[in-house]
Structure 1
Amino acid sequence: MEDIFKSIECNDDDVVEIKDNTYKISKIKSGVSQSSNEDLSYRLQQQLNSRSIYFPSGDYFSDEGIDCKILTLGSQNWKNGKIKFKLSIEFCIEEDVEINNSQDLDITEVESSLDKLRRRLQEES
């Protein structure tokens, strides 16, 4: 199945409505950050352990990461480094999905207002 979610740049003051609740993006980011620093790392470690993957205790979502070594294909030596996990928020705009999945249209993407402005500026040049 094709992944229809695309990362988009959200401003901290943008607002998302989920069911009957509305939240600023900044509040969601803060909540995710606080959760990832506490509970999510613990839960991830428990889930990995249940699958016989044992990482040391630590905050897997912190910027510091956790010490590790990696052996890449074709390399003859281990390389020291750090590993961390990133949690992202992605949004799928339904109108884009409808247009992209339409069999009657040849359009693959919706032109944004910024694209229209760029095109107009190029035409004036």
Structure 2
Amino acid sequence: MEDGFKQIECNDGDVLNFGDNIYKVAKFKQAMDTSSKYTLECTLSQELSRQGVNIKASTNVNWFHKGIDCEILTLGSPIWKKGKVKIKISVEFYAEEEDLQITNSNNSEITEPESPLDDLRRMINE
């Protein structure tokens, strides 16, 4: 993402606040997964067809879960490989600013978090 935002990893137990609504990440991802089963798959198939990409698939299109059967011919390969095309939507969180650690509140010194490898570096340097 642009504008100096930094992506951070989210765990299922983390909480998202959308103004007056607060949800655990797990519930948000599950709701996204459920909604993608029907609405997004139908809309995607219709839009692909409108753009001239006609994929012969069953009426029970499964872009997001099982995938759609297809074949691929990669550069340099003499044969087609059978497989599936599956669309994956990810939920990402981008922080507007980085967390800063204050080690000494008296002089407000800001330091980087200590790396677990610092002990090994000290031992090597001794």
TM-score over 0.5 for the alignment?
Answer: yes
Greater Cα radius of gyration, structure 1 or 2: 2
Question: Is the partner of 1:45 in helix, strand or coil?
Answer: helix
How far apart, CA to CA, are the structure 1 residues paired with 2:5 and 2:48?
26
- 1:118 is the counterpart of 2:116: yes
Of structures 1 and 2, the one scoring higher in RCO (CA 8 A, sep 6+) is 2
User: How much has 1:121 moved relative to structure 2?
Assistant: 3.9
1:46 and 2:46 are equivalent in the alignment:
yes
Query: Which one-letter code corresponds to 1:94 in the other structure?
Result: E
Distance 1:74 1:3 in 2: 39
Q: Which runs of 5+ in 1 are unaligned?
A: 97-110
Corresponding residue number in structure 2 for 1:27:
27
CA distance in 2, matches of 1:119, 1:23: 35
Question: Identity, % of aligned pairs?
Answer: 44
Match of 1:59 in 2: 62
Contact 1:66 1:83 (8 Å CA) reproduced: yes
Does the residue aligned with 1:76 lie in a helix, a strand or coil?
coil
Residue correspondences, number = 108
Trace 1:6-25 onto structure 2 (pairs within 5 A): 8-25=8-25
| Deviation digits for residues 29-56 of structure 1 (CA, Å, limit 9, x no counterpart) | 1101111112111111111111111122
What does residue 83 of structure 2 align with?
A: 81
Does the C-alpha gap of structure 1 residues 45 and 23 become closer, same or farther in structure 2, counting only changes over 3 Å?
same
Please say if residues 7 and 95 of structure 2, whose CA atoms lie closer than 8 Å, have aligned partners that are also in contact: no
CA contact (8 A) 2:71 2:82 kept: yes
Once superposed, what is the RMSD of the aligned Cα atoms? Answer: 2.6
TM-score (norm 2): 0.71
Q: Which runs of 4+ in 1 moved over 3 A?
A: 1-8, 119-125
